[in-house]
Amino acid sequence: MARDTVLEQVEQCWRGVAPDPDLVPAPDENLFRGDVDSFVFIQFVRALGARFQVELPLVEIFENPTFRTVADCIGRTGE
């Protein structure tokens, strides 16, 4: 079985904290749509940090809150 991509793992972290885990944005869609607030987003960033063992640049993620941005940040931070 192939390992999940970073983008897929980011989505899994989102499902763990999102108000409605069945409503998952597309990779380039804004994560703050719907009932998502900054508290949910902070939980999401914490879940990512635990999964990937990285500290993410919150300013960059808040400026462009998409799964793809998060995955790119993880890739750069993990290098």
On the question of pLDDT at 3 being above 60, the answer is no
What is the per-residue pLDDT for 13? 95
Residue 31 lies in a domain: yes
Residues of the domain holding 60: 6-77
Residue 22 lies in a domain: yes
If one counts the domains in the chain, the total is 1
Residue 15 lies in a domain: yes
Output the domain CATH number for residue 28. 1.10.1200.10
What is the per-residue pLDDT for 36? 82
Residue 56 lies in a domain: yes
How many CB atoms are closer than 10 A to CB 32? 15
Residue 21 lies in a domain: yes
Q: What is the pTM of this model?
A: 0.85
> Burial of 62 by CB count in 10 Å (0-12 exposed, 13-18 middle, 19+ buried)?
middle
Helix (H, G, I), strand (E, B) or coil at 16: helix
Residue 1 lies in a domain: no
The per-residue pLDDT for range 15-61, each reduced to its tens digit, is: 999 888 888 899 999 988 777 888 888 899 899 999 999 988 788 88
